[in-house]
Amino acid sequence: MTATTRLLFAGLVLALTGSATAIINPNFAPEQSYAGAGDGSEVAGPDGWTLRDLPGRALVSTVDFAVSGERVFWFETLTGGFGDNKLDQCVALSDSDAFAFSVLAWTATPDSDLRVRLNAEYYSSEADCLARSNRLDDDEEDFRLDGDPATWTSFTLIGDAPPATTHVRISLRARDRTGAGNNPATEPKFIYFDALDVAGGDLLNGDFSATSISLASFAQDQGPFGWSLRSVSDSGLVVPEPTAELGSAFRFSELGTGYGNNTLEQCVDISQLDPFVFDASVWPNLADVDLRVRLALNFFATQNDCISRQNDLGDPVFDFRTSDMVPESWNALRSGLIIAPAAASWGRIALRARDQRPAGADPVILFDRIALTDRFFVGGSVSGLAAGAELSLDNNGELLLITANGGFVFGNALAHDAAYAVTITQQPTSPSQTCMVSSGSGQIDADDVTDVLVECATDSFTIGGSVAGLETGNSVVLQLNGDSTVTVSANEPFSFTQALLDGSAYAVTVLENPSSPDQTCTVANGEGVLSGSNVDDVLVTCATDSFTVGGSLSNLLAGTTVVLQNNGADDLSLDGNGVFTFSQAVADGSAYAVTVLSQPSTPNQVCAVSNGSGVIAGADVDDVLVSCEIATYPVAGTLSGLADGASLSVQINGDETLALNSNGPFQFPTALADGSSYTVLVISQPTAAGQICSISNGSGIVSGAAVDNIQIICVADSFLLGGFLSGLAAGNSLTLVESDGQSLILDANGAFVFPQLLADGSSYQVSVTQQPTSPAQICSVVNGSGNIAGADVTNLSVECQADTTMPGTGPGGLGAGMAIINPNFGLEQAYAGSGAEFAGPDGWILRDLEDRRGLVSSFELAPSGSRVFRFESPQRGFGDNKLEQCLPVTDPAAFALRLQAWSSLSDPEVQVRVNIESYASAADCSARSNRIDNSDFDFPLTAPAQSWQALALAQALDPAASHARISIRMRDRSAGGDPAEPPVTVLFDSISAIGAALANGDFEAGSLAGAMFGLDQGPLGWTLRSVIETGLVLAEPSASGGSAFQFTRLGEGFGDNTLEQCVPIDLNRFVLSASVWPELRNPDLRIRLNVDLHANLADCLARSNRLDRRDTDFRTSGLNPGTWNTISTDPIARPSGATYARIALRARDRIEPPPASPPIILFDQVRLTADAVAVPVNHPLALLLLLALMLGLGGRLLTSPHRRA
């Protein structure tokens, strides 16, 4: 029997196989084979497994009926005993009492002599398990495979592991004694295994999913999973198919000249098949009439007859020439209709090929997609279906939704001779289409139906509507989609003659408007998309043209509003100048009249209209002009109390002056605009009559009416006392008192006046009786005393500064703390020169410093900004160390100067002098020539040490003075007429002037770069002692923006490099800490923190009468180089009577051999802080603490985290 090669739905048919019998492995899935060594030894098997005693091969195969995953394991060659074919694995047991070994088994040929054995050997170590030595015990159990064919059966071995068991060697085995004499059957039988599991242990790869699958080859009586090779010329193999379409495929290694040379077979149950066909996909590399493929089938009554190939009931064959196929491509082959004999329940299908060509290239023929099917599909193609549309087809009650053009297939396959009839149950609606079926009915003839043809076409519809408002005799021309037109001459329905396809967009527009008279026609519902019906709702409305009325508004004040009206009805509110237009248009030829309905107010204005009326003449009106002007009102009042013959002058807004010489009403000549402010002042008092006049209601705002309530009252001669307050913090207040007893509370900066007038010639004395407290400030009065001299006193000056007196510097305050000056070594800028006068900080000059320096220093407690000025070396006379500046004088009579000074020592012999020299020109001031006047003001610094003291002076300068040279100096005679050792530190800040312009009084201008210091000098607050060379403040290397201190060069002893400071203490336990930055780590490079304790500041400064000393050393080998480390002493207990600590930072270098460059150590963030249990010794809690220590309950609450040398 022969058959022709047919392509079935271009590959669709193999995915829709209808009612096909269960062929095992029809697609030749990849397999991985494992061969024994041939000597019964152990070889590697699937991942995690070993194989023993294999007479042939074991395989892991990909199957579609696997239980866990998609793979199974099987032995290719079963023998009659359990001594062959063993699959082993050593498993670690987590619970030996729970041990059980289970497996699933599957066979197509069940038999009581087809058996499986599960074995377990117990060991006390993994090594023994792997070597199979020192076995503790074993369990095994055999199971028959005699159940239903082709089903999975579960077998479980319940083990009894000895208590010492840590590992078990499980073994899966199988045997076949279904043949004669307890031998395997002639036709090999196969058992497939899956889902191996061990309870109480961790089994690896029990579903074989971890196994790497490649491909396998097969010899005589072997074959791919489910198949058997017979009479092969050479062998067969599963290979990757070349088009990457179908995965893997089967190939005969070599073709013979007859069909009997190459056969791949499988027994298949055909009992449920009606007349059926035999399908296969074939890939030939050549197309030749003598290179052929055969699909063969033998019928049998039973499975055993099929397996043993006996009692054959028939053998139809179907041959195919490769000359009818497409070479190097997959060809779908289908046999003719096959009708099995009535007694046949099994069929042995066979794939065969032969090569009878006389010569030529080696042939390659691949097989795949093997199927037996008795059902066939109905399908065809659809054309013309619009994108997005849907069509519903029916075949014998089965509905199929079509959404795109191309091939289609009904899902239900039909038997041979069954009738089919394809009809349309639902036409497409979006867009609306009409579809027709051809070749849609017939009878199945052992093949798929592929020629049903469905053709669709889109429906067409018309566009129309109605016209309204068209004047008699007029016409309008409409246009559709910019193409088709229609002329409408009456208010009636219309329709375009051109129809459009459903789903098309349409747009109706007016091409020509009516012109006699002029009308404008608009279209509603004129755009859309056709949706299955004619459009008849387009509405065209025509109206006679109208025009707008408008113009421009000018001079309207901001914030005001004017309301205009047109033709007594259309109101328009305007709140800004510019172009305006009324909202209601006026028909052509109609009159218009624009008026002001409501004038602006607040302030009042008068707006007038020009060009406001006329007749519309075919265009918009835009030339109406509206201009506004502010209303004005007079300013007047009443004068009373003026003595006969006396006169005074008053002035309004600093401009218009009015002379008054009699009591009664008065009025300024010029009226003021509404909304403007006014201020009336007496600029000339009736002094000859011994009177002074005051004004009430003298200022305000004109508010839509005349001002007539100004009152001028003249009384006997007396004067005001007042001045100016500055520097008061927001929310603060202070109280002033005058010597006559009147007081005044001030809570805001600015001018102030005492409420009571003072008689001419009387004396006054003003002082601060209540200083500001939140925050704390100190306020001082400049020009606070004097006599009334025929005029108001206005030059009182009250100046407030932050109260920077440092708390807790005296003994006794609980938690007052210990204030180290400049603990972070802020940057400093030094100024030095060899001449008598040289440049100092920005705006300043320095004089008579010789080889000494002046410095601008960073200081956390600066009252203004963050910098202060200091002289590095105080001298015993005012003739040395001068900080000077020439000031332009703006008010010689009111000249005053204020500054703040801070001293490390409170002593009347530590003094500041302010010298003032006045000059007639800047050149004279700069050259110090032609001096007009010279004054000295001395101030002893007796405020508490380390606190800011406000200094202020007032000195009226000669009226001819245009410049003043101020000179700030200091001297120290506190040590028996000589400067103290170490030097006293005096700081200056917040220097300001009244009546003159002073520059950089807070020293914030200019840059700070760092400074170098020598013996008995040092950074602000510190003293260098016993230095090998020098020390300097510089920017610290971590680029954080801070600064640090460095000894320029280190000596071999701690005494060579010392930086010191005396600090008040008031806590009974404290620690000294610092941040250090070492360049390198070395046990011979060391740092020392030193604390000497003294009874008073004098002893501390003189380094005498020491009460106690604490030294703490640190090796740099215990620190991190090139970064900041925090070091600290252990807690230090303050001796009785100690009030000051002399803290010292020291370093030494004994590295041998010396490094190429001197090592660097930086210091920063020096802190004296209370220990966790610190309590001032004079506080009651100190007694409780002492008692706790005596009872053994005390101890360190905080410990230093740093290593110490």
DSSP reduced 3-state for 29: coil
The CA distance from 972 to 951, in Å, is 18
The CA distance from 241 to 626, in Å, is 93
The CA distance from 391 to 435, in Å, is 8
The CA distance from 831 to 840, in Å, is 6
8 Å CB contact between 160 and 98: no
Q: Is residue 1030 part of a domain?
A: yes
pLDDT score recorded for residue 1038:
55
Angle at the Cα of 889 (from 884 to 893), degrees rounded to 5?
115
Using 50, 70 and 90 to split pLDDT, how confident is the model at 835? low
* Residues 710, 724 within the same domain: no
pLDDT in tens, 478-507: 999 999 999 999 999 999 999 999 889 999
In the listed set 544, 560, 575, which residue is the last one of a domain according to the structure? Answer: 544
Question: Could you tell me which residue, 790 or 129, shows the higher pLDDT?
Answer: 129
DSSP string, 547-583: E-EEEEEESPPTT--EEEEETTTEEEEE-SSEEEE-S
Which strands sit side by side in the sheet containing 656-660, from one edge to the other? Answer: 656-660, 648-652, 677-684, 699-701
* Residues 387, 357 within the same domain: no
Using 50, 70 and 90 to split pLDDT, how confident is the model at 577? very high
pLDDT in tens, 183-220: 998 878 889 999 999 999 999 988 888 877 776 777 66
Q: What does the mean pLDDT of the chain come to?
A: 87
Mean pLDDT to the nearest integer, 523-538? 94
* Residues 518, 471 within the same domain: yes
Distances in Å between the alpha carbon of 1159 and those of 352, 415, 1149? 93, 101, 8
Q: Which residue is associated with the tokens 């003449």?
A: 617
| Percent of residues, the chain, with pLDDT higher than 90 | 59
Phi, psi of 259 (to 5 degrees): -65, -25
- Do the strands 986-994 and 963-972 form a parallel or antiparallel pair, or are they unpaired? unpaired
Q: Is residue 601 part of a domain?
A: yes
CATH code of 223's domain = 2.60.120.260
Q: Is the pLDDT of residue 8 over 50?
A: no
* Residues 1185, 1164 within the same domain: yes
Q: Is the pLDDT of residue 11 over 50?
A: no
pLDDT in tens, 644-702: 999 999 999 999 999 999 999 999 999 998 888 999 999 999 988 878 899 999 999 99
pLDDT score recorded for residue 13:
30
Q: Is residue 1204 part of a domain?
A: no
Nearest to residue 601, comparing CAs of 508, 679, 703, 526?
703
pLDDT score recorded for residue 76:
83
CATH code of 935's domain = 2.60.120.200
Going by C-beta distance under 8 Å and a sequence separation of 6 or more, which residues neighbour residue 1190? Answer: none
Going by C-beta distance under 8 Å and a sequence separation of 6 or more, which residues neighbour residue 687? Answer: 717, 790
pLDDT in tens, 585-613: 998 778 999 999 999 988 899 999 999 99
8 Å CB contact between 250 and 259: no
Using 50, 70 and 90 to split pLDDT, how confident is the model at 1185? very low
The CA distance from 338 to 340, in Å, is 6
Distances in Å between the alpha carbon of 110 and those of 176, 187, 304, 609, 618? 11, 14, 11, 116, 107
Bridge partners (DSSP) listed for residue 433? 458
DSSP reduced 3-state for 192: strand
Radius of gyration from C-alpha coordinates of the chain: 58
In the listed set 488, 516, 544, which residue is the last one of a domain according to the structure? Answer: 544
807: preceding bond cis by omega (within 30 degrees): no
Burial of 473 by CB count in 10 Å (0-12 exposed, 13-18 middle, 19+ buried)? exposed
pLDDT score recorded for residue 1045:
86
- Do the strands 463-468 and 535-544 form a parallel or antiparallel pair, or are they unpaired? parallel
Considering 250-264, 385-399, 752-766, the range whose residues carry the highest mean pLDDT is: 385-399
8 Å CB contact between 1062 and 1100: yes
Going by C-beta distance under 8 Å and a sequence separation of 6 or more, which residues neighbour residue 395? Answer: 378, 410, 412, 420, 421, 422, 423
Using 50, 70 and 90 to split pLDDT, how confident is the model at 838? confident
Q: Is residue 180 part of a domain?
A: yes
Q: Which amino acid is at 694?
A: S
* Residues 625, 647 within the same domain: no
Q: Is the pLDDT of residue 810 over 60?
A: no
pLDDT score recorded for residue 791:
81
Q: Is residue 247 part of a domain?
A: yes
Using 50, 70 and 90 to split pLDDT, how confident is the model at 814? very low
Q: Is residue 814 part of a domain?
A: no
Enumerate long-range contacts of 746-755, CB under 8 Å, 24 or more apart.
746/798, 749/725, 750/724, 750/725, 751/722, 751/723, 751/724, 751/725, 752/722, 752/723, 752/724, 752/725, 752/796, 752/798, 753/720, 753/721, 753/722, 754/720, 754/721, 754/722
Q: Is residue 1169 part of a domain?
A: yes
Tokens of residue 286, six digits: 């050549």
pLDDT in tens, 312-359: 999 999 999 999 999 999 999 999 999 999 999 999 999 999 999 988
* Residues 226, 286 within the same domain: yes
* Residues 260, 365 within the same domain: yes
In the listed set 407, 437, 458, which residue is the last one of a domain according to the structure? Answer: 458
The CA distance from 165 to 921, in Å, is 112
The CA distance from 395 to 421, in Å, is 5
pLDDT score recorded for residue 17:
40
CATH code of 693's domain = 2.60.40
* Residues 433, 470 within the same domain: no
Mean pLDDT to the nearest integer, 1111-1140? 93
pLDDT score recorded for residue 1041:
57
Residue 837 domain boundaries: 828-994
pLDDT in tens, 111-141: 999 999 999 999 999 999 999 999 999 999 9
8 Å CB contact between 1047 and 1024: no
DSSP alpha helices (H): ranges in 323-430? Answer: none
Which strands sit side by side in the sheet containing 986-994, from one edge to the other? Answer: 828-832, 853-858, 867-871, 986-994, 896-903, 948-954
8 Å CB contact between 501 and 530: yes
pLDDT in tens, 261-272: 888 899 999 999
- Residue 227 CA neighbour count, 13 Å, CB half: 33
Question: Could you tell me which residue, 774 or 444, shows the higher pLDDT?
Answer: 444
* Residues 526, 673 within the same domain: no
**Residue 98 DSSP symbol:** G
Q: Is residue 819 part of a domain?
A: no
Using 50, 70 and 90 to split pLDDT, how confident is the model at 14? very low
Minimum mean pLDDT range among 335-349, 861-875, 1040-1054: 1040-1054
Q: Is the pLDDT of residue 1005 over 60?
A: yes
Nearest to residue 25, comparing CAs of 367, 376, 447?
367
pLDDT score recorded for residue 117:
97
Minimum mean pLDDT range among 303-307, 859-863, 872-876: 859-863
pLDDT score recorded for residue 245:
61
Phi-psi region of 825 (alpha: psi -120 to 50; beta: other; left: phi over 0): left
* Residues 422, 395 within the same domain: yes
Q: How far apart are the first and last CA of the chain?
A: 106
pLDDT score recorded for residue 1006:
85
pLDDT score recorded for residue 15:
32
The CA distance from 673 to 658, in Å, is 19
The CA distance from 849 to 838, in Å, is 9
* Residues 1023, 1129 within the same domain: yes
Number of domains the chain contains: 9
* Residues 243, 130 within the same domain: no
Nearest to residue 241, comparing CAs of 322, 118, 330, 323?
330
Using 50, 70 and 90 to split pLDDT, how confident is the model at 1175? very low
pLDDT score recorded for residue 811:
29
